[in-house]
Amino acid sequence: MIRRAREDDWEDARALWREVDDLHAGLAPAYFRKAARAQGEWRELLVSGDAAVFVAVSDEDAARVVGVVSVRVYETPPDPAMVPLRRGHVEMLVVSATHRRRGVGALLMEEVARWARRQGAVELVLTVWAGNREAEAFYERLGFGTLSRVLSAKL
C-alpha cells in the first residue's frame, strides 16, 4: 500500500534514507559522506508546501515502511532562453533491499507522478549518480531517459 508519509514514519524512513545515503557515499565519496539525518529534516519535508513524501508499507505489517519517495515541484528558472514549465523533481527514492524487485518502487513513482500532475507539473526529473546501474535500469524501465550529463574535472 502507498500512502502519504507521516511524522511517525520517521524511524523506518531514517533507516531507508541511511541506505541511500550510504550508497551515494560509496558511489561518489567526493560529494557524499555517511551522516545521521535529523528528525527535523523529515518534519520540514513533510510540511513543505511544494513537496510531498510517500511511503510504501509492508503487506505483512502495515506499520512497517519498506519504501520512501520524496518529490518537489519547481518552476523553470527565469531565463529567456528556457521554456517555462513546472516540473516535479524526485529527490529521493529508496526501497528496502528485502522488498526490491516486487513493484514497490514503480508504485511509489506512479503516486509521485499523480501528485506532480495535480500540482501542475508536466514532467518528472531526477538524478542518478554515475555507477548506480540498478537505479539507471529501473528508471529506464519506467520510461525515463537522459536529459543531460554533468561532467567534472579535478583541479
The amino acid at residue 37 is: R
Q: What number of helices (H) and strands (E) belong to the chain?
A: 4, 5
Task: Give 64: exposed, middle or buried? Use CB within 10 Å, 0-12, 13-18, 19+.
Answer: middle
Give the model confidence (pLDDT) of 134-150 as tens digits. 999 999 999 999 999 98
Confidence of residue 2 (pLDDT cuts 50, 70, 90): very high
Residue 91 has a pLDDT of: 95
Burial (CB < 10 A; 0-12, 13-18, 19+), residue 86, is middle
Whether the per-residue pLDDT at 61 is higher than 80: the answer is no
Q: What are the chain's domains?
A: 2-141 (3.40.630.30)
Give the separation between CA 121 and CA 92, rounded to whole angstroms.
18
The arithmetic mean of pLDDT across residues 11-28, rounded, is 91
pTM: 0.92
pLDDT of 135 reads 95
- Which cell numbers in the block locate residue 80? 529567456
**CA nearest neighbour of 54 among 75, 68, 42, 64:** 68
